[in-house]
């Protein structure tokens, strides 16, 4: 690999690690080559969520620092509630990913709360986190 690519990769890894050291949900927004379009992606996210809700498909789009139990959380939410937790990016994302996720979740989350109860996903995550910590205490 060229030196420039190595520098970019190392910089991205450092940014991701720095975001991970803070609270969950932190992320680094990098400009997209050729430019991103937050507003267009936001509208598309809302439209996608409206279509999914009409089809009784419930999901949230997440990004940012990933907890060690992320895979179990996604499985638990789907098994228990039929809610899909879609990881669309890690801690490095662009305007298109951010816009789509924000638009999508603004439609899907209120419907999820209405159908399954307020903060159902937070409860599901807390259950998995508690179980994980119980199995990994030293």
Write the pLDDT tens digit of every residue in 85-120: 999 999 999 999 999 999 999 999 999 999 999 999
- On the question of pLDDT at 8 being above 60, the answer is no
Output the CA torsion 17→9→30→45 (10° steps): -90
Mean pLDDT of the chain: 84
* pLDDT at residue 79 tops 80: yes
pLDDT at 14 over 90: no
Residues 16-34 as b/e (b if ≥16 CB within 10 A, e otherwise) read beebbeeeeeebbeeeeee
Task: List the one residue out of 91, 123, 122 whose CA is nearest residue 17.
Answer: 91
Work out the average pLDDT over 27-48: 88
CB 121 within 8 A of CB 112: yes
pTM: 0.78
Confidence check: pLDDT of 78 > 70: yes
Q: What percent of the chain lies above the pLDDT cut of 90?
A: 64
Give the strand pairing for 58-62 and 92-93: unpaired
pLDDT over 80 (residue 17): no
Domain total in the chain = 1
Range of the domain at 52: 3-135
For residue 72, is pLDDT > 70? Answer: yes
User: Residue 3: what pLDDT?
Assistant: 54
Higher-confidence position of 27 and 45: 45
Which of 54, 40, 57 minimizes the C-alpha distance to 103?
Answer: 40
Structure tokens that stand for 32 in this block: 């997209």
pLDDT of residue 69: 92
* Beta strands in the chain, from DSSP E residues, in sequence order: 28-29, 58-62, 83-87, 92-93
Give residues with Cβ within 8 angstroms of 2, minimum separation 6: none
CA–CA separation, 52 and 73 (whole Å)? 21
């Amino acid at each position: 690999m060229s030196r420039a690519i190595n520098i970019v990769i190392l910089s991205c890894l450092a940014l991701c690690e720095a975001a991970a050291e803070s609270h969950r949900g932190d992320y680094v927004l990098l400009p997209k080559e050729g430019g991103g379009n937050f507003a267009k992606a936001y509208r598309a996210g809302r439209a996608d969520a409206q279509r999914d809700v009409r089809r009784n498909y419930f999901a949230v789009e997440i990004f940012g620092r990933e907890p060690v139990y992320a895979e179990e959380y996604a499985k638990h939410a789907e098994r228990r509630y039929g809610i899909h937790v879609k990881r669309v990016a890690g801690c490095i994302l662009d305007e298109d990913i951010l816009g789509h996720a924000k638009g999508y979740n603004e439609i899907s989350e209120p419907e999820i709360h209405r159908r399954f109860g307020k903060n159902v996903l937070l409860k599901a995550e807390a259950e998995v986190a508690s179980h994980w910590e119980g199995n990994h205490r030293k």
